[in-house]
Amino acid sequence: NPGAKVTVKLTSPGIYLIGCAYHYVEFNMRDVVEVVPGASPGPTASPGPGGYAVNRGRAVQKTSARSGPPLIDQHGHRFTLDSLRARPLAVTFISAHCTDACPLIDAQFADAARKIAAAHLGARLLTITLDPEHDSPATMRALAERFEADPRYWLVAGGSISGIHRIMQSFGVISVAGKNGYREEHTTFVYILNAEGKLTQTMLASSGLSDDVVNALRDERTAPR
């Protein structure tokens, strides 16, 4: 309903609003979050399917260089973000020790990976730890096994502490360590990159994330270059 008043309760409003502000300023995005009947916000503070639209062709800051920080996937293979070009890519950042939003995002990515495989979509998903101090490559491998992540469609990655923090900074990922040292409060965005490695959309995690990601990647496959 245009003009309707909507109240959304945020579990971590500070982190959420700082993250939104960063993406609005840094990537010149406009908020196009859509509230739909029956949407479940969940613990991610997302009011429903939608996200941020950005002018097509905007490069993700510092993440496209071949000299970028190496990542290590669930099979122990090293790669960089640049090496994943040629296919549309959805990227998200999670903590393997998180018990709030992250397991829900992992489950949505697992579902999206199955849909990508079934549709022969020619796209890929990438999950990167946002807590490299605690999430070793072995920890991320165990996470990948738990969700049966097939690396042909879904890479689950760790890396060095300094390298992960550089990548997080380039995407504008914000996280705060709790009393136990784990990064329990953090932004929950999903980033859609085209086949040239350029950011075209940023989504808020939501109950409809799986379909939203698959549809966005499908759009990238057919988008004019």
CB atoms within 10 A of CB 193: 26
Instruction: Give the global pTM.
Output: 0.73
For the purposes of burial, counting CB atoms within 10 Å of the CB of 35, is it exposed (0-12), middle (13-18) or buried (19 or more)? Answer: middle
Write out the two tokens for 69: 């920080």
- Please report, as a single letter, which amino acid is at residue 211: D
For the purposes of burial, counting CB atoms within 10 Å of the CB of 199, is it exposed (0-12), middle (13-18) or buried (19 or more)? Answer: buried
Report the chain's terminal Cα–Cα distance, integer Å: 35
In a structure prediction context, what are the per-residue pLDDT tens digits for the chain, which is 225 residues long? Answer: 444 444 444 444 444 444 444 444 444 443 333 333 333 333 333 333 334 444 444 445 444 434 479 999 999 999 999 999 999 999 999 999 888 889 999 999 999 999 999 999 999 999 999 999 999 999 999 999 999 999 999 999 999 999 999 999 999 888 777 666 666 667 889 999 999 999 999 988 888 899 999 999 999 987 766
* Whole-number Å distance between alpha carbons of 30 and 108: 25
Q: Where are the beta strands (DSSP E) in the chain?
A: 30-31, 52-59, 71-72, 78-79, 89-94, 124-129, 154-157, 175-177, 183-186, 189-193, 198-204
Q: Which residue in this structure is represented by tokens 């995690």?
A: 205
Write the Ramachandran bin of 46: left for phi over 0, alpha for psi from -120 to 50, otherwise beta: beta
Distance of CA 211 to the CA centre of its chain: 14
Domains located in the chain, CATH noted? 13-222 (3.40.30.10)
Write out the two tokens for 109: 């990515």
